[in-house]
Amino acid sequence: MGATATLSATGLAVAPGEDVTCTVVVRNTGDLVDEFTVDVVGDAAGWATAEPASVNLVPQASAEVVVRFAPPRAAGVAAGSVPFGVRVSSREDPYGSVVEEGVVEVGGFTDMSAELVPTKVEAGSKGKFEVAIDNVGNHPVAVRLHPADPDGELEFKLDRSDVVLAPGTAAFVKLVAKPRNTFLRGPSQPRPFRVDIVPSVGSPLSATGTLVQRQLLPRWLLPALIALLALAAVLAALWFTVLQPAVKSAAREAATQQVDDVKTAVDQAQAGAGQAQEQAKEAEAKSEEAMKAAGLDPDAAPGSPPTTKPNEPAQPAGEPTDFRVAADAAIVTNQDLFTDFTFTPPPDKALLITDIVLQNPRGDTGTVRVLRDVDGTRSVLLEFGLANFRDLDRHYVEPLRFKKGEKIVVQVSCQNPTEKGNCKPSVSFSGRAV
């Protein structure tokens, strides 16, 4: 009992988004009427079908089954040779099943897009942009960036000019546009420009943007100066007409009263001079005692260092530390369901976190959280939607403090489309361990 299978072609070629077929002849070599199931195994199984999927054959009878290969036009199906197997399974004799092998050559396609983020920036001396390039084709593409403006009024600086993009990935290139000439005052001037993206294959792309060049002096400065001059003029008039005569009169009265007070003070000072001398001697003695207690020599010259060293050394500032938590979260339909990725610091160290960098290079969709875990009790420190960023920095003047024994937990709720696969964001931390 069993079956034989014969492929009409073992080498096929197909373009993404199209289909190609071959036939397999199934023969019942057994002695009983049998049902044979035909399917495709291997990397091509996800986009291959057999029509019909099963046949019933009497002994020594045969039938043709059409096998159709239809790879989707998506980055998930890479260009190149994809081996496959056509499996014929016998219901009556499972051990008599057979597999015929072949190769289908999937063609490549190029699909790229580019944009400038943001498209318009208003600045006096320089504007910061980011060139976002997406490769949704099914093969790697190298690109080169060429920024230019039609009037030659701008200078450009790229953090990199050559980028290689894998299928289904995006790249972000930082761009600084700087005017060749600046002005202190005047109306804002738009400076349009473009960035040409030349791929190794396919047609060139272009992303356009505008730097709106404004005056270097703040707009509020001139009105503020005028207001200050007007206030100074009002104060000067008030001084000469009102305040100055009143001040002179008050000064004469105060001078007369002061002379009387001085005479009284002189009489009192003479009476208390002897007592003051005694108090001065007592204060000098106490001063010498205080200097000795502080480690100073009373007879040393001014500015001399202490005779004793400080009792306690300066406290250490801690050791620099940095670490990264990478996530690989499976797709879930419930947005409130999260996968944990935990970082446990050394048990004898506390952490002072000053910088947090979140990265989402694949453009995943979902939610990422950063939590503090104190013996199972958790509190959320940060929460972001993955679709809202590719790279995100957080810097803290007052560090985030994690005491000894506290853990850092990164949670991810992945809502990617099924064909995109797991969410793989990461979070980097830096600071000091004390």
pLDDT by residue (tens digit) across 113-127? 999 999 999 998 899
Contact 403, 348 (CB under 8 A): no
Is 378 in the same domain as 422?
yes
Measure the CA–CA gap between 369 and 338, rounded to whole angstroms. 9
What percent of the chain is predicted at pLDDT more than 70?
88
Where does a domain end: 182, 213, 244?
213
**pLDDT top residue among 99 and 96:** 99
Is pLDDT of 370 > 90?
Answer: yes
Confidence of residue 303 (pLDDT cuts 50, 70, 90): low
User: Residue 196's beta-bridge partner residues?
Assistant: 146, 206
Q: Per this entry, what is the length of the chain? A: 434
In whole numbers, what is the pLDDT of the chain averaged over residues? 88
Specify the DSSP element, H or E, that contains 223.
Answer: helix 221-238
Is 74 in the same domain as 130?
no
In a domain, 122, yes or no: yes
Measure the CA–CA gap between 165 and 162, rounded to whole angstroms. 10
In a domain, 68, yes or no: yes
Confidence of residue 274 (pLDDT cuts 50, 70, 90): low
Contact 178, 126 (CB under 8 A): yes
Is 123 in the same domain as 78?
no
**pLDDT top residue among 93 and 285:** 93
- pLDDT at position 218 is 73
Is 66 in the same domain as 102?
yes
Confidence of residue 318 (pLDDT cuts 50, 70, 90): confident
In a domain, 89, yes or no: yes
Beta pairing class for 351-359 and 426-433: antiparallel
Specify the DSSP element, H or E, that contains 231.
Answer: helix 221-238
Is pLDDT of 432 > 80?
Answer: yes
Is 65 in the same domain as 161?
no
In a domain, 300, yes or no: no
**pLDDT top residue among 416 and 261:** 416
Q: Domain limits at 131?
A: 112-213
Q: How far from the centroid of its chain's Cα atoms is residue 306's Cα? A: 52
Specify the DSSP element, H or E, that contains 227.
Answer: helix 221-238
Question: What are 73's two structure tokens?
Answer: 């036009």
Helix (H, G, I), strand (E, B) or coil at 297: coil
**pLDDT top residue among 92 and 425:** 425
User: How many domains, in total, are found in the chain?
Assistant: 3
Question: What are 284's two structure tokens?
Answer: 């000098």
Is pLDDT of 220 > 90?
Answer: no
Confidence of residue 312 (pLDDT cuts 50, 70, 90): very low
- Of the candidate ranges 52-66, 161-175, 207-221, 395-409, the one whose mean pLDDT is the lowest: 207-221
In a domain, 259, yes or no: no
Is pLDDT of 93 > 90?
Answer: no
C-alpha Rg value of the chain to the nearest Å = 41
- Residue range 238-251: mean pLDDT, rounded: 77
In a domain, 250, yes or no: no
- Residue range 316-332: mean pLDDT, rounded: 90
- Residue range 191-219: mean pLDDT, rounded: 90
Residue 126's nearest CA partner among 103, 155, 168, 88 is 155
Is 88 in the same domain as 130?
no
Is 419 in the same domain as 326?
yes
Where does a domain end: 159, 180, 213?
213
Residue 342's nearest CA partner among 374, 388, 309, 384 is 374
Which amino acid, 371? Answer: L
Measure the CA–CA gap between 131 and 117, rounded to whole angstroms. 6
**How many other C-beta atoms lie within 10 A of the C-beta of residue 22?**
18
**What are the helix (H) ranges across 239-316?**
244-271, 273-293
Is 23 in the same domain as 117?
no
Is 93 in the same domain as 160?
no
Is pLDDT of 317 > 60?
Answer: yes
Contact 117, 183 (CB under 8 A): no
Is 207 in the same domain as 186?
yes
- pLDDT at position 313 is 46
In a domain, 383, yes or no: yes
Is 9 in the same domain as 36?
yes
Confidence of residue 260 (pLDDT cuts 50, 70, 90): confident
Confidence of residue 309 (pLDDT cuts 50, 70, 90): very low
- Rounded to whole angstroms, the maximal C-alpha distance in the chain is 143
* Opening angle at CA 16, ends 14 and 21, nearest 5: 35
**pLDDT top residue among 268 and 35:** 35
Is 89 in the same domain as 174?
no
pLDDT by residue (tens digit) across 2-46? 789 999 999 999 999 999 999 999 999 888 999 999 999 999 999
Where does a domain end: 68, 88, 106?
106
- pLDDT at position 403 is 93
Specify the DSSP element, H or E, that contains 237.
Answer: helix 221-238
- pLDDT at position 411 is 96
Measure the CA–CA gap between 434 and 429, rounded to whole angstroms. 15
Is pLDDT of 385 > 60?
Answer: yes
* Opening angle at CA 261, ends 259 and 263, nearest 5: 70
User: Residue 141's beta-bridge partner residues?
Assistant: 165
In a domain, 101, yes or no: yes
Is pLDDT of 295 > 80?
Answer: no
Provide, for the chain, the percentages of residues in helix, strand and coil under a 3-state DSSP scheme, each rounded to the nearest 5.
20, 45, 35
CATH of the domain at 164: 2.60.40.2310
Is pLDDT of 270 > 50?
Answer: yes
Is pLDDT of 151 > 60?
Answer: yes
Torsion 245-246-247-248 (CA) sign: positive
Is pLDDT of 308 > 60?
Answer: no
CATH of the domain at 358: 2.60.120.340
Measure the CA–CA gap between 322 and 378, rounded to whole angstroms. 22
